[in-house]
């Protein structure tokens, strides 16, 4: 079933991309080209398909409330990310930008996104671990991963590569239910990688939040332990760095990160 969802995710996401690309908003990327953004919304059909499989029990899939809660959360990531892509204020970035706008009496779509995804992540944590510290720490890991992927999505293919590597590593050692929950999304991400890396599309907040949520959930699925604490430290540390420094400049200054970041792009991307 995992393999079927992966293949369906690739095919369904590419088909959706072909249908909706012309209707998506366009934004100027870092090279100055106007390209479709918020294309991460094309992952929603496979997310809904995964939910259908879980609800129907097709293929002898066992019901798991924690798994279902994450798939719903992934859909929520796509929806609120899309709202931020379309109506968001590009001038308010990072936690300082959004909370600064709030202090001036203005609620940004980014702040709404942070609030909704933080609350949703807490509910996923409660479904997975019950009420307690595990739910709280798990929520920070899940929402923090979604936010971190968004911070990385500033160059073609960057979020898919930097988040995708740990996703693939964790996916194949994750419990069966977690693999089932993310297989379709990962397949969809593989499908759009070429177009994202070549600068033909932008994932936008919609896609980055979904992809980061996948990483966070795979970390959660292993349960409390060393992986949790290492991941939590990395997420909080990188998020803090992004508030004061440019990831693009840091990547450009480190040779192996620069080469990895450039891999898969055309010469002009």
Q: Name the domain count of the chain.
A: 1
Mean pLDDT of all residues in 76-103: 66
Check the CA dihedral 217-162-252-205 and report its sign: negative
* pLDDT score of 103 more than 70: no
Q: What percent of the chain has pLDDT over 70?
A: 87
In this structure, is residue 112 part of a structural domain? yes
Mean pLDDT, to the nearest integer, of 157-178? 87
In a domain, 221, yes or no: yes
- HSE value, Cβ hemisphere, 13 Å, CA-based, for 107: 4
Write the burial class of residue 238 (CB in 10 Å: 0-12 exposed, 13-18 middle, 19+ buried).
middle
Tokens in use for 228? 């949790």
Phi, psi of 32 (to 5 degrees): 95, 0
Please state the pTM of the whole predicted model.
0.86
Flag whether 269 is in a domain. Answer: no
119-128, 172-181, 253-262: range with lowest mean pLDDT: 172-181
Write down the mean pLDDT value for the chain. Answer: 84
The SS3 of residue 36 is: strand
Q: What pLDDT shows up at residue 105?
A: 52
Both tokens assigned to 30 = 């870092």
Domain with 57 in it: 2-262
Beta bridge partners of 26: 36
Would you say residue 267 lies in a domain? no
Structure tokens at 164: 């995708």
Within a domain: 176: yes
- Of the candidate ranges 30-34, 130-134, 138-142, the one whose mean pLDDT is the lowest: 30-34
Q: Tens of pLDDT along 208-258?
A: 999 999 999 999 988 888 999 999 999 999 988 887 878 888 998 888 888
As a whole number, mean pLDDT of residues 90-99 equals: 51
User: What is the rounded average pLDDT of the residues 163-178?
Assistant: 86
pLDDT of residue 267: 59
Res 98 pLDDT > 50: no
Task: Report yes or no on 135 lying in a domain.
Answer: yes
Q: How far apart are CA 120 and CA 143, in angstroms?
A: 8
In a domain, 268, yes or no: no
């Amino acid at each position: 079933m995992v393999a079927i969802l992966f293949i369906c995710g690739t095919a369904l996401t590419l088909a959706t991309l072909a249908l909706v690309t012309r209707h998506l908003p366009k934004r100027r990327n870092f090279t100055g080209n106007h390209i479709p953004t918020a294309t991460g919304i094309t992952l929603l059909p496979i997310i809904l398909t995964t939910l259908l499989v879980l609800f129907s029990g097709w293929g002898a899939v066992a019901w798991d409330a924690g798994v279902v809660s994450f798939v719903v959360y992934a859909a929520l990531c796509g929806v609120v990310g899309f709202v931020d892509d379309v109506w968001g204020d590009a001038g308010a970035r990072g936690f300082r930008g959004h909370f600064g706008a709030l202090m001036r009496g203005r609620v940004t779509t980014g702040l709404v996104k942070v609030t909704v995804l933080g609350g949703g992540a807490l509910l996923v944590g409660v479904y997975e671990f019950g009420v307690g510290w595990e739910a709280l720490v798990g929520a920070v890991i899940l929402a923090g991963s979604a936010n971190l992927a968004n911070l990385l999505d500033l160059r073609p293919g960057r979020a898919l590569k930097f988040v995708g590597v740990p996703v693939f590593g964790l996916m194949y050692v994750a419990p069966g239910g977690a693999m089932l929950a993310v297989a379709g999304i990962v397949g969809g991400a593989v499908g759009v990688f070429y177009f994202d890396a070549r600068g033909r599309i932008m994932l936008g907040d919609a896609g980055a939040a979904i992809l980061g949520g996948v990483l966070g959930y795979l970390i959660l699925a292993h349960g409390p332990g060393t992986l949790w604490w290492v991941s939590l430290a990395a997420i909080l540390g990188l998020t803090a760095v992004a508030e004061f420094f440019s990831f693009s400049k840091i990547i450009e200054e480190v040779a192996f990160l620069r080469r990895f970041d450039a891999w898969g792009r055309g010469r002009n991307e």
